[in-house]
Amino acid sequence: MRNNLNISIFGLGYVGLPLAIKLSNYFNVLGFDNNKQRIKELKSFLDKNNEVSSKQLKKSKLQYSTNIKDLKNSNIFIVTVPTPVTKSNQPDLKPLLIACKDIGKIISKGSVVVFESTVYPGVTEEICGPQIKKYSNLISGKDFYLGYSPERMNPGDKVHTVDKITKVVSGDCNKTVSILKKIYGKINSGKIFVAINIKTAEAAKVIENTQRDINVAFINEITKLFKKIDINIYDVLKTAQTKWNFLNFKPGFVGGHCIGVDPYYLAYLAKKKKIESNLILSGRKVNNNFPIFLAKYISNYISKKNKILVLGLTFKENVNDLRNTKVIDLIRSLKKKGHKIYVNDPYAYENEAKKMDLNLTSLSKKNKYDTIILAVAHNNYKKLNYSFFNKKLNKNGKIFDLKAIWRNKKFPKGIEYIIL
């Protein structure tokens, strides 16, 4: 392996760009993305994902390219491409395989290829390594080396950033691990945990999000139960949290590109190994059906066709990411029941919403509604006050607060406030 590190980052999305920016402070880093528009925006100091500021982009020494040949002088390749699922919820490794193919065409002896994308255990060594070998005619573990360092990005989180969290690293040999410790340790003050092997690191990543999915599924399921017996789930959770070891999970939508996807990778592996994955898939079923349950509950509660304002569309608060958002399932279910739906989201891009056949509405319009549904707890919505609800709701209007952010607010006379 070479002493001079020339690093290429494959994929400049939510994971790749923040990592590339931090690494470029210490190493020669080239950011590669096949999306020409994305590269054009970054060169103009614009990150539409809002993970990196214009100031950071201007200050950065990061170089950009859409031409794979520009990466031929690299000896460290860090792959951060997405790993989605197919329509049938099977692992879709196409982006990963394309990256491996591209790397295979330009890789030279002594290089290290590190994967950060979420996969099931075995993918790095059993699928990615052979794919690189196929296009390079080089042998893994001899001519080039493999590593895995799972990404732990939390979109919109400005506290647990890549330079502040513990980084897990793993490699096919001690030399690989040493070089990964050197690279990642440079940006996070040496907060490195070395996994015993690559499969262990892959497994740790995929269970992190699967565990969260299952925990939220439990809360969503008991929320449905407690609704039947007129108990407020947030009062129950507040009471239960007085015990020292109670896990603090809240009901809600489980979407996005990680938590709503990763369990399927684990379930796929279980099926492949002829192990039943009842719990994993049950959690997915509960969470996928939760928006449908809420739509039915709300529609039955208001009883007649309403003009409804839905606040929030993104998959989580304070981000513009609409990937796999479950709010759209709520909206579509309400539309099927005959309600007229209007959607506001200060973070979502209009063109992305239109792909879902939605036109975003501005809160500055003088429209009035029969019902308001708080679906995503954006900071902007937490500031809404008595005056807003008075202007926006018709007489005897209703508010469904799905995130319990307005519990302590006062509402106009005649307005009914319903907490999840």
Active site residues: 258
Residue 30, classed as helix, strand or coil, is: strand
Distance between first and last Cα of the chain: 57
Give 3-state DSSP helix, strand, coil % of the chain, rounded to 5.
40, 15, 45
Rg (C-alpha) for the chain, rounded Å, is 24
Dist CA 162 CA 164 (whole Å): 6
Q: Angle at CA 296, nearest 5°, toward 313 and 318? A: 15
* 27 HSE (CA, 13 A, CB side): 27
Dist CA 5 CA 108 (whole Å): 13
Q: Angle at CA 255, nearest 5°, toward 117 and 215? A: 90
The length of the chain, given as a count of residues: 420
Dist CA 343 CA 353 (whole Å): 10
Q: Are 153 and 18 in contact (CB under 8 A)?
A: yes
Dist CA 211 CA 217 (whole Å): 10
Q: Find, among 62, 54, 80, the residue nearest to 24 by Cα.
A: 62
